[in-house]
């Protein structure tokens, strides 16, 4: 047996905007609004209005999750659902009741609730009025929202996360046009990255002032290890800068309370460095995370750029590196992502050796596959052996990292139940549990039954 630590988290992750549906919400978030104005941009014109109906079926859904061995679940509290007046942070009673019921149901099922505060779902009014995360006013409004969450639910929720994949907000909204408002503006992107780090630190500061008993707060980062195409100096330099931007931009402030000096030097040279103050630097320094959540799907392979970085044009971080497709790589062809489980071991070692061996867990890992009905057996169950193989391989490498001393305390799959995935809608499915989005009938896949066996023995059979 490859046995995992005692009290290891076995579970999965979802989010409010991807599971709840838009039922009974006063405000639109940026994705709600984007679907309103450009439904054609979303796969098969499927938006977030219903999602997986968690708002109405949370009791049955959580019970089904527990039935496949999950002892923990991460989801998020929607700012656009909880808060009625975004300027004064008055709360919506129905939303408070809903989140109380979700938390209480998890606890009654013997599951640890992990609550995230921001999962790409900024209320669109705050973008319209202030420019969203470009504005430090929005940072402070977010902190007020976070304080309400801590006060309302902190008696039962003992694990909090400030953001999910903040780098995706930076890249999707301000660089590569896959999240509303689809801007290309490198200087704004850099300021947004800074402001998201500041928002996390300020929320942690507010959390600590409340002295909630036995509670911890962290952040969820998509750490994608960087691998150079070769040992050539120019490829190694490309990988160094890619690592600074893609990983260290959020990892260093979260754990050490400051940004990498090399990154600040580069952004200063390129005249795109963020605006900061000495007071904010102190807040960042003194409010680091208790733990890390790490989302991992695929490696990041880079090579020296084909075009010189000092070429004329809009500043973009990837002017310093180009993506590299390694010949012979394994790929999930439906999603287009390389499958490289060893990277999870490399993450474990990196955190152990370079980031204080801080407690961390795998907060997302998984594979999205389209048209899974083609894998249904005669009894109607989806036989997703490819997902079992994927998770098994990643767990084996994770176990190796834990054996070597990395302080990992859990593994969460993305996602428990097939959920709505932004512009991709329901094109690719990720869940242990399938969801017929027309009937909202949910059934356990083969991987769900396999996962239950893993959780029952707290490990993998050799």
Annotation marks residue 364 as catalytic: yes
pLDDT at 226: 98
Residues 6+ apart with CB under 8 A from 200: 162, 163, 166, 219, 253, 254, 289
Hey, what CATH topology would domain 2-460 get? TIM Barrel (3.20.20)
Q: Which of 462, 376, 364 is nearest to 12 (CA)?
A: 364
Q: What is the C-alpha end-to-end distance of the chain, expressed in Å?
A: 5
Residues 6+ apart with CB under 8 A from 108: none
Residues 6+ apart with CB under 8 A from 63: 109
pTM, rounded to two decimals: 0.98
Which one from 20, 252, 280, 364 is the annotated catalytic residue? 364
Burial of 45 (0-12, 13-18, 19+ CB in 10 A): exposed
Strand partners, 338: 331
Phi, psi dihedral angles at 416 (to 5 degrees): -65, -50
**Chain-centre distance of CA 134, in angstroms?**
20
Distance separating alpha carbons of residues 403 and 155, to the nearest angstrom: 34
Q: Which of 90, 144, 94, 137 is nearest to 117 (CA)?
A: 144
pLDDT at 350: 98
DSSP code at position 298: S
**8 A C-beta contact, residue 242 and residue 299:** no
Distance separating alpha carbons of residues 84 and 121, to the nearest angstrom: 15
Which one from 20, 165, 173, 280 is the annotated catalytic residue? 165
Structure tokens given for 155: 């008696």
Sign of CA dihedral 187, 190, 194, 196: positive
Half-sphere exposure of 70 (CA within 13 A, CB side): 33
Distance separating alpha carbons of residues 168 and 134, to the nearest angstrom: 15
Distance separating alpha carbons of residues 409 and 324, to the nearest angstrom: 32
pLDDT per residue, tens digit, the chain (462 aa), is 999 999 999 999 999 999 999 999 999 999 999 999 999 999 999 999 999 999 999 999 999 999 999 999 999 999 999 999 999 999 999 999 999 999 999 999 999 999 999 999 999 999 999 999 999 999 999 999 999 999 999 999 999 999 999 999 999 999 999 999 999 999 999 999 999 999 999 999 999 999 999 999 999 999 999 999 999 999 999 999 999 999 999 999 999 999 999 999 999 999 999 999 999 999 999 999 999 999 999 999 999 999 999 999 999 999 999 999 999 999 999 999 999 999 999 999 999 999 999 999 999 999 999 999 999 999 999 999 999 999 999 999 999 999 999 999 999 999 999 999 999 999 999 999 999 999 999 999 999 999 999 999 999 998
pLDDT at 37: 98
Annotation marks residue 173 as catalytic: no
Q: Which of 410, 394, 385 is nearest to 341 (CA)?
A: 394
Distance separating alpha carbons of residues 355 and 348, to the nearest angstrom: 10
Structure tokens given for 195: 């402001």
**8 A C-beta contact, residue 170 and residue 192:** yes
pLDDT at 462: 84
């Amino acid at each position: 047996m490859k046995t995992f630590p005692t009290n290891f988290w076995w579970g999965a992750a979802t989010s409010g905007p991807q599971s709840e549906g838009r039922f009974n919400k006063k405000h639109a978030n940026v994705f709600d609004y984007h679907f309103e104005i450009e439904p054609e941009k979303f796969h098969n014109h499927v938006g977030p209005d219903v999602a997986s109906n968690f708002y109405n079926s949370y009791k049955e859904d959580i019970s089904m999750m527990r039935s496949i061995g999950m002892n923990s679940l991460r989801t998020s509290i929607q700012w656009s659902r909880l808060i009625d007046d975004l300027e004064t942070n008055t709360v919506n009673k129905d939303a408070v009741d809903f989140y109380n019921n979700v938390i209480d149901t998890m606890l009654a099922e013997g599951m640890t609730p992990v609550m995230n505060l921001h999962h790409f779902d900024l209320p669109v009014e705050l973008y319209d009025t202030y420019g969203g995360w470009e504005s430090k006013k929005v940072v402070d409004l977010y902190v007020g929202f976070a304080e309400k969450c801590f006060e309302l639910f902190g008696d039962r929720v003992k694990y909090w996360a400030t953001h999910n994949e903040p780098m995706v907000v930076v890249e999707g909204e301000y660089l590569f046009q896959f999240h509303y408002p689809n801007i290309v503006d490198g200087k704004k992107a850099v300021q947004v990255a800074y402001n998201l780090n500041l928002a996390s630190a300020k929320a942690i500061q507010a959390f600590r002032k409340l002295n909630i008993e036995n509670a911890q707060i962290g952040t969820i980062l998509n750490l994608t290890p960087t691998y150079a195409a070769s040992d050539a100096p120019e490829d190694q330099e490309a990988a160094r800068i890619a690592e600074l931007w893609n990983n260290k931009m959020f990892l260093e402030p979260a754990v050490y309370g400051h940004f990498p000096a090399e990154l600040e030097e580069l952004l200063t040279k390129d005249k795109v460095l963020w605006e900061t103050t000495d007071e904010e630097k102190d807040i960042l320094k003194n409010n680091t995370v208790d733990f890390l959540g790490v989302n991992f799907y695929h490696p990041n392979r880079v090579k020296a750029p084909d075009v010189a970085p000092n070429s004329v044009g809009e500043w973009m971080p990837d002017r310093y590196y180009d993506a590299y497709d390694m010949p012979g790589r394994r790929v999930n062809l439906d999603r287009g992502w390389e499958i490289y489980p060893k990277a999870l071991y490399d993450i474990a070692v990196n955190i152990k050796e370079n980031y204080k061996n801080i407690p961390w867990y795998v907060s997302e890992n998984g594979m999205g596959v389209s048209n899974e009905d083609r894998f249904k057996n005669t009894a109607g169950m989806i036989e997703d052996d490819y997902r079992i193989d994927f998770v098994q391989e990643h767990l084996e490498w994770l176990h190796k990292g834990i054996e070597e001393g990395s302080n990992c305390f859990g593994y969460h799959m993305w996602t428990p139940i097939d959920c709505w995935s932004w512009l991709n809608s329901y094109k690719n499915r990720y869940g242990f549990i399938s969801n017929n989005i027309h009937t909202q009938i949910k059934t356990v896949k083969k991987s769900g039954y396999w996962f239950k066996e893993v959780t029952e023995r707290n490990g993998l059979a050799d």
